[in-house]
Amino acid sequence: MKIYDSQHIKNITLLGHAGSGKTTFVESMLFEAGEINRLGTIMGQNTVSDYHDLEKEKGSSVFSTLLHLPWKESKINVIDTPGTSDFVGEVISALRITGTGVMLLNAQHGVEVGTEIIWEYTEDFKTPMIFVVNQLDHEKADFDLTVEQAVNRFGRNVLVVQYPLNQGNDFNAIIDVLKMVMYQYPADGGKPQKLPIPDSEIARADELHKQLVESVAEHDDQLMELYFDKGELTEEEMTRGLKAAMLHHDLFPLFCCSATKNMGSGRIMGFLNDIAPAPIDTPPVERQSGKQLLCDPKGPTVLFIYKTISEPHLGDMSFFKVYSGVVNVGDELVNSITGTTERFNQLFLMNGKNRDAINELRAGDIGATVKLKDSHTNSTLHPKGNEFHIKPIDFPEPHIRVAVTTPNKSDVEKMANALHSLVEEDPSLIVEHSQELKQTILHGQGEIHLNVAKWKVEHNYKIQLDFDPPRIPYRETIQHEAKTVYRHKKQSGGAGQFAELHMLIEPYYDDMPPTPHVNLRHTDVHELPWGGKMVFQNCIVGGAIDTRFMGAITKGIMEKMENGPITGSYVRDIRVSIFDGKMHDVDSNDMAFKIASMMAFKDAFRKANPQILEPVYHVDILTTNDYMGDVMSDLQTRRGIIEGIMPDGHYQKISAKVPLSEMHDYSSTLRSIAHGRAKFSLHFDNYAIVPYNVQQELVAKMKDDDDESH
């Protein structure tokens, strides 16, 4: 099998909203390149990409798929990515290691919200981009509206390179204003005829060609001078200018195709061969140390694992990019994180689930291997004695969470191991063993993302999972001060226990004045791990309680604050004063005073008009005007407070504050309300007082749970 050097490799990520036709488009690419001898279809469940059982079941991409194909002088590596925002981690990891993004737009729907989400990440990475308007054979295709939306959202640097002559059911011809030719395709697609542009289209084609040349010239002073001198640029000059402008994320050429009819993919691959940057042309990758690593075929062998999978029919596979040097079968490299030495017994080029064994991969290339011992996503591997650590992929914060249990108690440990393996494969998932909530919490990008994780555990590890709404991390505090006296006395033969405490508790806030009418001897301020403070004041005079017991008293209060008297939630923002008490020369000890302080705190807390606080999150929703009213109405049913509405491209961004307890099913609800044309993000904002009726419900539930436990 041919080995390609770093100058003749093109690494491409296929991007687009779900349903834009990425999987069918890459099928067309593979067919045109001779990698497959027949075109598969989504309906037929026989495409090279979307090979996973779950993807066949859903009829859409769930995982990114690595493919490769030869075209002219180049080897084109393609990563086909999912279009659903739940799987944005797959998109980010692909963008991180490829040099060009190909964004498919559905000619029926134009720029969709999934496109918006993905575009934000291409902006972060400054990925060279081209657009492809797909599905021009559909009866509702609207090329001009799609281009208008793309320009409005992504800027005037979206440049029309091609436009359809006859979009709709009879689509079979594309006018190319870069090469100034018309491509006319046979009924079954494939290789087109190159024909002169019809007279009726000459004026439009000339105008678009002029716009294209002027835009390329604007981004290169030397080309601008040539353009002023000649009024035109040669094909070689246009190629040079487009390469430079794309590499700097300045110009975004736009092409046409019908993936289902196999029309247009060959021309796009030709453009990628001619114009798309090779790995050796792209900026160096950043190392954790802040230094940079050049793509150098003669440098030390350094590779980066961007994806790992564990599948029954594939085994454990690691997908990687060679950033420097050459990796050969039999090489041994060191994991920069663990120090483990890994041996590469096999190397593969991948086309979906199909593997092509290869002996070496050079800098800039992408491949896979199997059975690495201790290397996962974000691992860097390098030679012994040469330490390199490529900066890891930064995955987005999760948007949704569920509590995970298994009905079979004997599977609890297996479940924990399975979830740990999932996170190693997909770092956009987070598993949290919450001591506060006493639950295992699985965090993900959306409901579909979590359901895929559940599917994998049940099918790959044969462990049944149940998803439940996670408990809410409420907080408890008080609104008034309260005093109490508590005596702990225990006598059951031998040494007894005795402690008496006089306690005052008050709501605490920063810079509050001293407690009146107490003789303050000492103050300790405790910053609580769960937020807020507990201020402890020793106000004992005359030796009523020995100072040596103050530590036990504080410990008792803190333990009770970890299991609040009202709902069992953490307690915060309390000032506690011990102003009197009694002790016994023989029966008083640390345990007695610890128990007394716990019971005194509980009693005083309940007298002090206790208040439950709930976590409130700041939520940003991006949606179209069509669904804005429905989205806001739904937020209000969730006790949300709308804080603002502002335009964001041709979308509207709604900002609100919503209690976390009302957000459990929001991902699926928003998808339903906006028909998939909305996204949201959220982050913790503050704790707020719950409404009276909600507090009563929570207290009643706590009482019912206590009754059941007894």
pLDDT, tens digit (0-9, with 9 covering 90-100), for 476-504: 999 999 999 999 998 766 678 999 999 99
Work out the pLDDT band at 708, boundaries 50, 70, 90.
Answer: low
How many CA atoms does the CB half-sphere of 647 hold within 13 Å? 4
pLDDT at 472: 95
Ramachandran area for residue 579 (φ above 0: left; ψ -120 to 50: alpha; else beta): alpha
User: pLDDT tens, 403-449?
Assistant: 999 999 899 999 999 999 999 889 999 999 999 999 999 999 989 99
Q: Are 54 and 80 in contact (CB under 8 A)?
A: no
- Give the confidence band of 710 by pLDDT, cuts at 50, 70, 90: very low
The Cα–Cα gap between 103 and 106 comes to 10
Judged against a pLDDT cut of 80, whether residue 375 lies above it is answered with: yes
Residue 551: CA count within 13 A, CB half-sphere = 3
Rounded distance between C-alpha atoms, residue 537 and residue 554, angstroms = 10
Please give the C-alpha separations between residue 303 and each of 76, 241, 319, 369, 388, in angstroms, as whole numbers.
19, 31, 10, 12, 9
CA dist., res. 341 & res. 440, Å (int): 33
Q: What is the mean pLDDT of residues 54-65?
A: 92
Name residue, tokens 């084109």.
76
Using alpha carbons only, how large is the chain's radius of gyration in Å? 32
How many other C-beta atoms are found inside a 10 Å radius of the C-beta of residue 627?
18
What pTM was estimated for this model as a whole?
A: 0.87
Nearest residue to 456 via CA among 312, 351, 315: 312
pLDDT at 675: 82
Q: What pLDDT is recorded for position 644?
A: 95
What 3 state SS string does 260-328 have?
A: CCCECHHHHHHHHHHCCCCHHHCCCEEECCCCEECCCCCCCCEEEEEEEEEECCCEEEEEEEEEECEEE
Q: Which of 4-8, 310-314, 370-374, 584-588 has the lowest mean pLDDT?
A: 310-314
SS3 661: helix
Residue 118: closest CA among 157, 155, 163, 87:
87
pLDDT of 167 strictly over 50: yes
Please give the average per-residue pLDDT across 72-100, as a whole number.
95
C-alpha–C-alpha distance, residues 519 and 511, integer Å: 19
Which single residue is written with the structure tokens 């353009």? 227
Q: What is the pLDDT of residues 281-331, one digit of tens each?
A: 999 999 999 999 999 999 999 999 999 998 766 668 999 999 999 999 999
Span 641-672, pLDDT tens digits: 999 999 987 779 999 999 999 998 898 899 89
Strand pairing of 252-256 and 129-134?
parallel
Check if the beta carbon of residue 261 is closer than 8 Å to that of residue 137. yes
Distance between terminal CA atoms of the chain? 71
Residue range 145-162: mean pLDDT, rounded: 95
pLDDT at residue 388, rounded to an integer: 93
Name the most confidently modeled range: 46-60, 68-82, 219-233. 68-82
pLDDT digits (tens, 9 = 90+) for 242-256: 999 999 999 999 999
Residue 678 confidence class, pLDDT cut points 50, 70, 90 = confident
- Per-residue pLDDT, 707: 55
From residue 658, give the alpha-carbon distance in Å to each of 217, 563, 636, 655, 688.
50, 25, 9, 10, 10
pLDDT at 703: 74
pLDDT mean over 143-147: 97
Q: In a 3-state reduction of DSSP, which class is residue 74? A: strand
The pLDDT-based confidence of 705 (bands split at 50, 70, 90) is low
Kindly report the average pLDDT of the chain as a whole number: 93
The arithmetic mean of pLDDT across residues 182-187, rounded, is 97
- Taking the C-alpha atoms of residue 121 and residue 565, their distance in angstroms, rounded to an integer, is 46
**Mean pLDDT of the 154-163 span:** 95
Domains annotated for the chain, with CATH where assigned, are: 8-281 (3.40.50.300), 285-382 (2.40.30.10), 400-468 (3.30.70.870), 476-608 (3.30.230.10), 612-693 (3.30.70.240)
Name the DSSP letter for residue 653.
E
Across 361-386, average pLDDT: 94
- pLDDT given at position 495: 73
pLDDT value at residue 704: 65
Hey, how many other C-beta atoms are within 10 angstroms of the C-beta on 621? 27
